[in-house]
Structure 1
């Protein structure tokens, strides 16, 4: 479980995250949704200890994020950000092997090598393992970064807008990959998403933020409702049932 209690963050005079308290259940996908400027990515960065807390506390799997040594936290928690840009020319295998660094400290063992091979196979990247990242398509590079995160072998994975710059087919494939990782590998995945239909279709739990605060949280059936979405986004969004799931239509 990820627990935040009274968490706040300021940048200058702007209060970006305002006294947030929430519990993200272990297992499955939790999507954090809400309008631009709601504090979603900042909250995720604080959970990952990429941004400090001005107030409150965050625990991930019982570990105090602020007090736990980085090497220990990195064996429990992985994060993929929007800006996965590397200046070094790396092969897919090199990138995936970086996921083992919290365990190997740069001296990979046979066990670490086995993790790399399993991650490559899980993402069907064996044929691309020797290719350089700058030779791949955008979708292939995204799969390579997912393999790196899985190779880190953490219980918790945080994803900051992972569907940015992906077309619909690759975005849907990416969400299916994380759904599979949760169901087959027991991962707890927390995703910042702008596309509420992807959030509705693939998530087990939703956290909705607005103006730095959590304004709603619950299952997709509880949150993907016209009155709830109006309170979150301040606009009318039609909700329909498709194959037993709720999807949204909006043209404004």
Structure 2
């Protein structure tokens, strides 16, 4: 279980995340939504310890992430940031193998290779495993980064806007893969999203943020409403149910 207690981040006089206290369900997919500047990525960064909290605490299964040894934390939690570019020319398999570093420290064992192969197969990357990253499409590259995170074999996976630069087909495929990681592998996935319809259709739980605070949190049916979305984005939308899922239509 991920729990935050009065989690706060300031940059000088600017309050970016304001005393957020939440419990995120285990073995489910949580989507964090909100307008630009709402504090979503900063909040996710503090949970993963990539961003230091100004106050408060983030706990993973009761462990304070700020005080937990790095090796121990990396075996429980994996994160993929927005900026995941790699300058070195590496193959897809090489990239995925980086996910095993917390376990092997670079000395890959037979078990490590098996988990790398498994991640490549799960993300349907086996035909491209020996290609360099600059030789595959943007969608395949993004899937390779997700495979690296899954190869880390952690209970918790945090993803900051993994749908960036993906077209509709690849974005849908990515969300389907994350849903499978929850349903088939009992992972706990927390993802920052801008697409409300993807959040509504694929997430079990949604956290809606504005100005560094949580406006609402709960299942999609409780969050994807005209009133709540107006409170988050300051625009009027029409919410309709399609195939059992709430979807958002924007007015002109």
Instruction: Tell me the equivalent position of 1:226.
Output: 226
SS in 1 for 2:139: helix
Alignment of 1:88-237 (within 5 A): 88-237=88-237
The offset of 1:235, in angstroms, is 1.4
Using the alignment, how far apart are the partners of 2:205 and 2:30 within structure 1? Answer: 5
The offset of 1:116, in angstroms, is 0.7
The offset of 1:251, in angstroms, is 3.3
1:167-201, CA deviations, whole angstroms, 9 ceiling, x for partnerless residues? 11100110000001100000000001111011001
SS in 1 for 2:240: strand
Instruction: Tell me the equivalent position of 1:75.
Output: 75
SS in 1 for 2:177: helix
TM-score by length of 1: 0.98
The offset of 1:218, in angstroms, is 0.5
Instruction: Tell me the equivalent position of 1:52.
Output: 52
SS in 1 for 2:222: helix
The offset of 1:228, in angstroms, is 1.3
Please give the root-mean-square deviation of Cα atoms over the aligned residues, in Å: 0.8
TM-score by length of 2: 0.98
Instruction: Tell me the equivalent position of 2:30.
Output: 30
Instruction: Tell me the equivalent position of 2:66.
Output: 66
SS in 2 for 1:8: strand
**Structure 1 stretches of 4+ moved >3 Å:** none
Using the alignment, how far apart are the partners of 1:246 and 1:88 within structure 2? Answer: 42
Pair 1:9-2:9 in alignment: yes
Q: Give aligned pairs, total.
A: 252
Instruction: Tell me the equivalent position of 1:238.
Output: 238
Using the alignment, how far apart are the partners of 2:245 and 2:127 within structure 1? Answer: 36
Using the alignment, how far apart are the partners of 1:214 and 1:81 within structure 2? Answer: 21
SS in 1 for 2:165: coil
Using the alignment, how far apart are the partners of 1:6 and 1:198 within structure 2? Answer: 28
For structure 2, which runs of at least 5 residues remain unmatched after alignment?
A: none
